[in-house]
């Protein structure tokens, strides 16, 4: 609902940063949020809205950040790709593909040295997995026995290039990483129960064994790579795939399933939607009314 509102309001030209929406990919971080604790440290990518919100990131500050306002979570410097809420253990994001992965190793090492019981969580796409930083980080996490959950959201595309054009046929990172000695989990993303169990097991594995693991879930972004709309007129994605994944939409299907079940509580679902709408309207109002940074603020926080 947050991103649908971003999409609806984007043409007002008040949000001047690029946005990479997670519509279609929201269920996995939502499931993970059922298990994570505030003290777990999480890091993410350019496509970070769902990760930030599911870790409890402040909505008002997120929207203000996207509006480039002083009250934003990065004081309006960063925009959509630079969300952070340290109080909630959401440690930041980076627009440089693959660059946040090594940071999760640092977070894992910090947790280990402190003897804390929490874990480090690193979200990334299958495109980032092709960066050298990924395999270097995985290697170090295995050797140093770090409590890091590597969470790969495989939406098959890096911008407009499909995975078939980028990787050898039948390449399996699950196999590669298992051979390196890492525990792996994989969900095809088409069945709620399967995804729930894989995410729960992956989280509990890292939490209890204090070792890294790799979790991959297949998913599909329902909107364009970057921007609030749809770019399927460009023809880089197969129309059939698009239809197939729209039907799979696990959030909608879960809602339908709940409504059909005996103890269904349609009033509760309606209430959740109304409550969300209220919070979203409030966040957009807050962002709109907040002050812009001063031009001179651009020179603060620089390395000299």
Q: What is the binding site for ligand TPP (CB under 6 A)?
A: 46-47, 95-98, 124-128, 155, 157-159, 225
Question: Which is nearer to ligand TPP, 40 or 126 (by Cβ)?
Answer: 126
In this complex, which beta carbon is closest to ligand TPP, that of residue 88 or of residue 225?
A: 225
CB 206 to ligand TPP: min, Å: 21
Element of type H or E holding 41: strand 41-44
Please report the DSSP string for 233-297 in residue order. GG--S-HHHHHHHHHH-HHHHHHHHHHHSTT--HHHHHHHHHHHHHHHHHHHHHHHHSPPPPGGG
DSSP letter (8 states) at residue 169: T
Distance CA 304, CA 301 (A): 9
Query: Closest distance between ligand TPP and the C-beta of residue 137, in Å?
Result: 14
Q: Which is nearer to ligand TPP, 92 or 98 (CB)?
A: 98
Closest to ligand TPP by CB, 124 vs 245, is 124
- Residue closest to 41 by CA, chosen among 93, 99, 97, 98: 93
For the bound state, the minimum distance from the C-beta of residue 2 to ligand TPP, rounded and expressed in Å, comes to 17
Note whether 160 and 236 are within 8 A (CB).
yes
Nearer to ligand TPP, 131 or 249 (CB): 131
**Residues found in the chain:** 304
Tell me how far apart the alpha carbons of residues 128 and 152 are, in angstroms, rounded to a whole number.
Answer: 9
């Amino acid at each position: 609902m947050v991103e649908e509102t971003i999409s609806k309001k984007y043409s007002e030209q008040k949000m001047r940063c690029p946005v990479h929406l997670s519509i279609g990919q929201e269920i996995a971080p939502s499931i993970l949020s059922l298990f994570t604790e505030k003290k777990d440290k999480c890091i993410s990518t350019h496509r970070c809205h769902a990760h930030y919100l599911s870790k409890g990131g402040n909505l008002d500050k997120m929207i203000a950040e996207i509006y480039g306002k002083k009250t934003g979570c990065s004081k309006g410097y960063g925009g959509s790709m630079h969300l952070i809420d340290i109080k909630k253990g959401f440690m930041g994001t980076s627009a440089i593909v693959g660059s946040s992965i090594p940071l999760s190793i640092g977070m894992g090492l910090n947790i280990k040295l402190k003897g804390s019981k929490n874990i480090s969580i690193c979200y990334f796409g299958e495109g980032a997995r092709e960066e050298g930083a990924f395999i270097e980080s995985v290697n170090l996490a295995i050797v140093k026995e770090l409590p890091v959950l590597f969470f790969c959201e495989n939406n098959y595309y890096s911008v407009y290039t499909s995975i078939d054009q980028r990787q050898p046929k039948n390449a399996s990172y699950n196999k590669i990483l298992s051979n390196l000695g890492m525990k792996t989990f994989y969900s095809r993303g088409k069945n709620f129960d399967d995804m729930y169990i894989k995410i729960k097991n992956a989280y509990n594995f890292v939490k209890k064994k204090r070792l890294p693991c790799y979790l991959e879930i297949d998913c599909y972004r329902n909107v364009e790579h970057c921007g609030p709309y749809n770019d399927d007129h460009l023809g880089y994605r197969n129309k059939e795939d698009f239809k197939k994944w729209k039907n799979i939409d696990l959030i909608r299907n879960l809602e339908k399933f709940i409504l059909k079940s005996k103890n269904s509580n349609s009033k509760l679902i309606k209430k959740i939607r109304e409550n969300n709408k209220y919070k979203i309207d409030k966040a957009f109002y807050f962002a709109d009314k907040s002050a812009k940074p001063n031009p001179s603020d651009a020179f603060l926080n620089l390395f000299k």
